[in-house]
């Protein structure tokens, strides 16, 4: 009861921090999609390169976020952005690479060889194959990668409150430092709900972006 009261009393703050959270994750994952998808497509042309890129991305994602912040702050301080949203956005960008690159790469690589041969056989150029066949077929899987990245990074962004990036994590950090369970719990629940809701919303988007003829195939996959 006390919690609901607190949440209602601070509804404006809650809303603005939620928006801040969404905006930071959205911008960063958006940027990550712009880099990750082309990289994922490019590395389908060279298997050795693909292995090194995916390996590097999987190492990066293994590094705990707070450790990544700890490493980035001293470096970014050199250009005057040690704390705040710059390191947070960079971290989200980096963490997003693995799910997005990996899913793009896998999806394009898994396009049925018979379709690829049919596309070549009827005289599509490599770019036409990519645009008319491979990318449309890969979109659902790429979207799944984006979704994974977004959910993961909603969590990372919560931690980024400790380096002054704002967002819903601020409630949790203040809750802990001020020993205020109301802020703590409201923050934790808010960030959890955000992750769950965004996950479902992106799942719905993913289904809408699935080419119509593939719905059955996608639902059995």
What residues make contact with another protein under the rule CB under 8 A? Answer: 59, 61-71, 73-74, 77, 83, 112, 114-115, 117-125, 128, 132-133, 136-137, 151, 154-155, 158-159, 162-163, 169, 172, 175-176, 181, 184-185, 187-189, 191-192, 195-196, 199, 211-214, 216-217
The angle at the Cα of 139, spanning 104 to 22, to the nearest 5 degrees, equals 85
Question: How many other C-beta atoms can be found within 10 angstroms of the C-beta atom of residue 115?
Answer: 13
Report, in Å, the least distance between residue 40 CB and another protein. 18
CA–CA separation, 199 and 90 (whole Å): 22
Report, in Å, the least distance between residue 136 CB and another protein. 4
In the complex with another protein, which residue's Cβ is closer, 16 or 177? 177
Report, in Å, the least distance between residue 64 CB and another protein. 4
In the complex with another protein, which residue's Cβ is closer, 40 or 147? 147
Contact indicator for 144, 188 with CB cutoff of 8 Å: no
Axis crossing angle, helix 169-177 with helix 135-159, rounded to the nearest 10: 20
In the complex with another protein, which residue's Cβ is closer, 13 or 132? 132
Contact indicator for 36, 60 with CB cutoff of 8 Å: no
Report, in Å, the least distance between residue 32 CB and another protein. 18
Query: Which candidate, 33, 13, 16, 22, places its Cα nearest to that of 193?
Result: 22
């Amino acid at each position: 009861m006390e919690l609901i009261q607190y949440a209602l009393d601070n509804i404006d703050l809650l809303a603005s921090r939620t928006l801040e959270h969404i905006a930071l994750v959205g911008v960063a994952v958006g940027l990550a999609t712009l880099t990750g998808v082309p990289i994922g497509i490019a590395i389908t042309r060279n298997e050795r390169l693909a292995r090194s890129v995916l390996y590097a991305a999987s190492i990066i994602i293994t590094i705990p976020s707070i450790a990544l912040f700890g490493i980035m702050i001293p470096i970014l301080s050199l250009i005057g952005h040690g704390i705040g949203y710059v390191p947070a956005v960079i971290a989200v960008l980096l963490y997003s690479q693995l799910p997005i690159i990996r899913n793009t790469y896998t999806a394009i690589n898994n396009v049925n060889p018979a379709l690829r041969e049919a596309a070549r056989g009827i005289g599509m150029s490599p770019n036409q194959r990519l645009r008319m066949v491979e990318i449309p077929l890969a979109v659902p899987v790429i979207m799944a990668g984006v979704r994974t990245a977004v959910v993961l990074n909603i969590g990372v962004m919560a931690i980024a409150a400790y380096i002054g990036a704002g967002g819903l994590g601020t409630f949790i950090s203040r809750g802990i430092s001020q020993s205020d369970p109301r802020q703590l719990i409201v923050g934790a629940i808010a960030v959890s709900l955000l992750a769950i809701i965004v996950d479902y919303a992106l799942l719905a988007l993913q289904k809408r972006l699935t080419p119509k003829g593939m719905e059955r195939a996608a639902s059995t996959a």
